[in-house]
């Protein structure tokens, strides 16, 4: 059984109440005392909310794999000894990224999240684990007006790259539009803070590994070019499978892009030389 199938089976066991939400969270390596985990368990106990909460959780990233990617970025940026690491997340879901950060560093501070789905945003607000929750990752509140952070992440919409979604389309269906435009607008946060001289030290993006295979109009090459166009960061990427890279056989393989700020970032206006391989 593939890791993707195991992930679907895990969430399905929650749907069917074979496992509690707390047990599903534990399998996904969410910390038991995490504020968001507590909120998810409490929300699932409300009438008619169990399946909805599990559906939201099924969209979250794998916490342990993400923790390892963030750890790589934090060390490369020299932030591991910092008393506090400020983080902003976009397209946040129920924020497995923030949970991974809290597992990684005792001073992890979730400064803002930007999540367009009203239910997921409500869960983020209810948890109290995030200082600001915005409803649009592409609007001014989450780009030019959001506070400065050390780590900025984007777990952007993966539906257009989903093999399951594509399998449900008819053979004659028109190609689905890509979502790079929304990501480009969300990256306005990074461009804004580069111009102000206060850029994040670490950037991390995450999406379905299918992004490199399913679309001719949504290619990894396009995205790589967009990221290199920021001109201030050293980039690397890798497709990471929870079963192989974190011993957590309960989520699909994902592709991660990781960047650390170069020393000459403020003076650098050109693109980088390329995107390295994170799995080397």
Residue 244 confidence class, pLDDT cut points 50, 70, 90: low
Residue 40 confidence class, pLDDT cut points 50, 70, 90: very high
CA dist 11 and 166 (Å) reads 20
Q: Is 238 helix (H, G, I), strand (E, B) or coil?
A: strand
pLDDT tens for 89-134 read: 999 988 889 999 999 999 999 999 999 999 999 999 999 989 999 9
Q: Which residue has the tokens 């290199």?
A: 228
pLDDT at 242: 64
pLDDT tens for 10-31 read: 788 888 888 899 998 888 888 8
pLDDT tens for 136-183 read: 998 999 999 999 999 999 988 765 555 544 444 444 433 344 567 888
Mean pLDDT over each residue of the chain, to the nearest integer? 82
Residue 251 confidence class, pLDDT cut points 50, 70, 90: low
What pTM did the predictor assign? 0.86
Question: Do 63 and 100 contact (CB within 8 A), yes or no?
Answer: yes
CA dist 22 and 98 (Å) reads 18
Query: Which has the minimum average pLDDT: 71-75, 116-120, 181-185, 205-209?
Result: 205-209
More confident: 49 or 163: 49
Structure tokens at 80: 């591991």
CA dist 241 and 249 (Å) reads 8
Q: DSSP assignment of 35-56, as one string?
A: HHHHHHHHHHTSTT-HHHHHHH
């Amino acid at each position: 059984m593939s890791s993707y199938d195991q992930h679907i089976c895990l969430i399905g066991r929650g749907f069917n109440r074979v496992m509690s939400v707390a047990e599903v969270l534990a399998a996904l390596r969410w910390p038991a005392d995490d504020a968001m985990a507590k909120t998810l368990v409490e929300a699932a106990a409300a009438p008619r909310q169990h399946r909805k909460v599990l559906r939201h959780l099924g969209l979250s990233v794998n916490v342990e794999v993400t923790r390892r990617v963030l750890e790589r970025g934090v060390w490369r940026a020299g932030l591991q000894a910092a008393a506090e690491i400020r983080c902003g997340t976009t397209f946040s879901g129920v924020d497995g990224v923030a949970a991974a950060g809290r597992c990684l560093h005792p001073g992890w501070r979730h400064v803002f999240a930007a999540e367009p789905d009203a239910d997921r945003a409500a869960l983020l607000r209810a948890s109290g684990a995030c200082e600001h929750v915005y409803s649009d990752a592409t609007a001014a509140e989450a780009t030019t007006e959001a506070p400065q952070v050390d780590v900025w992440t984007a777990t952007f919409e993966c539906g257009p790259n989903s093999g399951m979604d594509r399998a449900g389309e008819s053979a004659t269906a028109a190609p689905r539009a890509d979502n790079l435009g929304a990501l480009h607008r969300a990256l306005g946060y990074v461009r804004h803070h580069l111009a102000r001289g206060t850029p994040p030290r670490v950037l991390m993006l995450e999406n379905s590994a299918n992004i490199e295979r399913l679309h001719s109009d949504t290619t990894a090459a396009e995205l790589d070019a967009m990221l290199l166009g920021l001109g201030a960061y050293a980039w690397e990427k890798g497709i990471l499978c929870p079963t192989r890279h974190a011993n957590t056989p309960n989520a699909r393989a994902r592709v991660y892009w990781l960047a650390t700020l170069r020393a000459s970032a403020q003076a650098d206006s050109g693109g980088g030389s390329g995107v390295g391989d994170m799995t080397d």
